[in-house]
Structure 1
Amino acid sequence: MPVVVDVIGGGLAGTEAAWQLAERGIDVRLYEMRPIKMTPAHLTDQLGELICSNSLGSNLPDRAPGVLKAELRRLGSLLMRCADQSSVPAGGALAVDRERFAQLITGSIEGHPRITLVREEVKRIPAGPCIIATGPLTAEALAGEIAGMVGEEYLYFYDAIAPMVTADSIDMSIAFRASRYGRGEDEAGDYINCPMTHEEYDRFVQALLEAELIDLRAFEREDPHFFEGCLPVEQIAARGERSLAFGPMRPVGLTDPRTGHRPYAVVQLRQDNLAGTLYNLVGFQTNLRWGEQKRVFRLIPGLETAEFSRYGQMHRNTFLNSPIHLRQTLQAKSRDDLIFAGQITGVEGYVGNIGTGLLAGINLAHRVTDRPLWTLPPTTMLGALCYYVTHADSGDFQPMKANFGILPELENAPKGKRDRQKAYAARAAADLESFLAAAEITSPVVGDR
């Protein structure tokens, strides 16, 4: 009797996992509870819906996120193909039209002959081979099942979504188009920049610090645990007078054409859809009340009459203490045919989620066909991420995104930072090819429909 594998969760990791399984000749039931049951953050029933930024990070080959993207493209990632096909201008980054991106993923999954999409909530962990990729907003019933299986409480942190404005409400007599240091596809620049003087910056920060926040629920107030990589803008501002000017509002690499000088601070807006009608405020995740967002963010020069198509919000994210519970193959230590993938493992960032979904799909396909599971070299970016989340200090485990700091040190490392990054990237690519050659893989995907 043919094996049918269950994949729970229709986000980035779950859809990638389902695709990888199906492409290797495995029949898949992909469960997604939306729209039968919605999460606090999702807006649609589309698979792979992005609920925070529309950027997948740097696309440059000598940056850590770029290295990870190159690896996933080499390994035949469905979602990387969808991202490339739905990309919008974003300088050296890969940003997507989020609606088109989700449509491409949904169409690919629904059209695959080996994937059955089931729209219902899964409340129990299946007894057979399964991938759990339910993400940071795992529904209560299944979360309780997982908590019972691992024998301890989840860790958790809070994630925040940035607001979005309509393009035609931005005052372009003040704002200007440019990418940092002139990078980008468009000569005019892929970002809209709102420059600030020292006085305007101080006024904005003061208003931000005095603004009202959305109340957390009682159990959330007891232990507000923010992830450093996605801090609300008001939390950054509270760390010091110039913390924003050295963070998301840093002006480096930009010149205000009105003055010919670098501004004191800059708020950047990134295109969010292919039509170019929506822009999100880069790095402006927030938990301000919606009315306060409108008041405070309209203090930004160029956004005085901005129309908000979406306000920022904050939600609770949960993840496993993976160093205790997962193997480097992403298998549960307690059960060989149960694999976790995506943000629930403690991998942070869209592309990291896609990568763990890809590896989970490959490994479960190998598990049910009695082939060796993959443990990618830790010198590759995906291998390093999987190694980190399964070997970090379990007593203070925090989510981790792709970065060169998690890679093993180079032998005879170049002195310059950029040269070291290029060396890391070159080693990762070479070691991935060596791994694939040893595994007798010569093409990105082994299809068996």
Structure 2
Amino acid sequence: MTHDIHIVGGGLAGSEAAWQLAEAGFRVRLSEMRGSGERTPAHQTDHLAELVCSNSFRSDDAESNAVGLLHQEMRALGSLIMRQADAHRVPAGSALAVDRDGYSAGVTAALADHPNVTLVRERVDTLPDGPAILATGPLTAPALATAIGGATGAEALAFFDALAPIVHFDTIDMDIAWKASRWDKGEADYINCPMTKDEYLAFHAGLIAGEKTEFKEWEKDTPYFEGCMPIEVMAGRGIDTLRYGPMKPVGLDDPRTGRWPYAVVQLRQDNAQGTLWNIVGFQTKLKHAEQVRLFRTIPALRDAEFARLGGLHRNTFIRAPELLDSTLRLRTRPNLRFAGQITGCEGYIESAAVGLMAGRFAAAELSGATLAPPPVETALGALLNHITGAAVAETYQPMNVNFGLMPPIEGRTKKADRKRMYTDRARTAFAAWVSPPPPAADRAGISYGMPASA
């Protein structure tokens, strides 16, 4: 063999797993089918760790937000995904948003240049016989998906994920729109497009009546993930659902009137140059022509030109609590680990975090050591516990990291204090887990938090 471990899939999870193993001194074969003449319904480039939906890694607040805490833990473990996200950050208030092209190009270059990584542009149709991590994501190629189904003995689950449109900045009418953050907190990082009541009601009606993409027969009865709900599906839940969701006007004073609009469409910067902005929360399965027609009824977007229109693709994931052990190994074939969205985690950073853990578990195993799973009090441990132990397999659904996945704080506390208590407790548990490993000569049979480089 010319490698110590084979990683299949070069998305966020596979890229992060490859980096962790390579940095630990192991030889990695990283297989990515994009670039070999293969495509997926969602990707547009051959870059590793491409972001196919939003360009946001969500909140970077590590004091009161579970996602920000996950960011912090991953940075402490030398995450490549976080390093490149920080290097290509664009303004987004307290959120961590990135220039998507610069970020993915940075990930690709870092792995392609690493002496321990062999990047191979190939489609893998069968399960590897040696140590491997399967990080093929929600759009796993059919042949490999069939092989996974044969090895798991369980039917894969699926849900739909939707893409939001991206608008060219110079086609937004800034005489109508304005830049601001809600309640004027932080920098004015969002473009706000106001709508009157009549404009909103007409837009709502257009969403309901608009022509949508038809489901294929095998896609019917597949549930949406709640955190990425198409806007027309949200609209169908009630006339004011959008005004309490992505079109909420609260805390946004229109400088032309001094008052909150009836509804607001928000756009967030999508690249470093500020030339592209994505419409926040506007994931959709409307047909492309219908999207252009309807979104141009938003006054500030009446002349909008779109760099990308919204779309919809099917995501597939396994019943991880039933199939995987606490270190992400397939119980029936322990040479295989799974990582990323195929495990049923949801979100960019969660996918990368599971890749990070899979890489570290594999590195420990290859070095003959034992890596204890991160404590459930940490963001990493809470996410891992949801995937491998906490959920009921029959009703298992994708989940973003959140404080609800952690053990509850005992006693009565104020809501604001409780979040800080979660993060303080998590940092204490994390610090204990990553205590330095013993010297190489004393490693045998000892469990520790950070596997040393081989």
1:288-327 aligned at under 5 Å gives the runs: 288-327=286-325
Deviation (angstroms), 1:337: 2.3
Q: Is the 8 A contact 1:23 1:447 kept in 2?
A: no
Query: Which residue is 2:444 aligned to?
Result: none
- Once the two structures are superposed, what CA deviation does each residue of 1:34-61 show, in whole Å capped at 9, x if it has no partner? 1221111111111111000000000112
Shift of 1:374: 2.9
How far off is 1:76 after superposition? 1.1
Q: Does 1:393 align with 2:392?
A: yes
**1:413, CA displacement in angstroms?**
5.0
Partner of 1:426, secondary structure, is helix
Whole-angstrom distance in 2 between the partners of 1:268 and 1:439: 47
TM-superposed deviation, 1:224: 3.1
Residue 321 of structure 1 aligns with an amino acid whose one-letter code is R
SS in 2 for 1:245: helix
Secondary structure in 2 matching 1:302: helix
Q: Which amino acid aligns with 1:127?
A: D
Aligned-partner SS, 1:378: coil
Name 2:30's counterpart in structure 1. 30
For 1:132 and 1:237, the matched residues in 2 are separated by 37
Describe the shift of the 1:257–1:33 C-alpha distance in structure 2 as closer, same or farther (beyond 3 A).
same
Q: One-letter code of the match for 1:139?
A: A
**Alignment TM-score, normalising by the size of structure 1:** 0.96
Which is further off, 123-132 or 35-44?
35-44
Other-structure match for 2:446:
none
SS of 2:361's equivalent in the other structure is helix
CA distance in 2, matches of 1:446, 1:165: 45
Structure 1 residue 266, shift from structure 2 partner: 1.1
Corresponding residue SS for 1:21? helix
Aligned pair count? 442
SS of the aligned residue for 1:13 comes to helix
TM, length-normalised to structure 2? 0.95
CA drift of 1:411 comes to 2.4
SS in 1 for 2:242: coil
1:273 aligns with 2:267: no
Query: Structure 1 residue 101: deviation in Å?
Result: 0.4
- In the TM superposition, what is the alpha-carbon distance from 1:382 to its structure 2 partner? 1.1
Change (3 A) 1:248 1:45: same
Match of 1:16 in 2: 16
2:48 maps to amino acid: L
Quick check: 2:49–2:104 contact (8 Å CA) kept in 1? yes
- For the pair 1:238 / 2:239, whether they are aligned, the reply is no
- For residues 70-115 of structure 1, give each alpha carbon's deviation from its aligned partner in whole angstroms, at most 9, with x where no partner exists: 1101111011000000010001100000000001100100010000
Unmatched runs of 5 consecutive residues or more in structure 1: none
> 1:288-320: CA deviations, max 9, x gaps?
000000011111120011001111000000000
Q: What is the identity percentage for the equivalent residue pairs of Structure 1 and Structure 2?
A: 51
Describe the SS at the equivalent of 2:130: coil
- Deviation by residue 1:418-438 (Cα, 9 ceiling, x = unmatched): 221111111111110011127
Number of the residue aligned with 1:156: 158
Q: Provide closer, same or farther for how the CA distance between residues 421 and 310 of structure 1 changes in structure 2, counting only shifts above 3 A.
A: same
* CA distance in 2 between partners of 1:132 and 1:344 (Å): 8
1:49 equivalent in structure 2 = 50
Amino acid at match of 1:46: H
| Structure 1 residue ranges (4+ consecutive) displaced by more than 3 angstroms after TM superposition | 438-441, 444-449
Structure 2 gap ranges (5+):
440-448
Cα shift readout 1:132-186 (whole Å, capped 9, x = no counterpart): 00000000110000011111221000000000110000000111101122233x3
What SS does structure 1 have at the residue aligned with 2:371? coil
Provide the alpha-carbon RMSD of the alignment.
Answer: 1.6
2 CA distance for matches of 1:374 and 1:176?
Answer: 50
SS at match of 2:372: coil
Determine if contact 1:23/1:445 at 8 Å carries over to the other structure. Answer: no
Q: Which moved more, 1:57-66 or 1:157-166?
A: 57-66
Contact 1:35 1:119 in 2 (8 A): yes
Preserved contact between residue 337 and residue 364 of structure 1 (Cα < 8 Å): no
In 1, Cα distance between the equivalents of 2:2 and 2:428?
37
Question: What code does the residue aligned with 1:322 have?
Answer: A
Determine the C-alpha separation between the residues in 1 that align with 2:33 and 2:147: 16
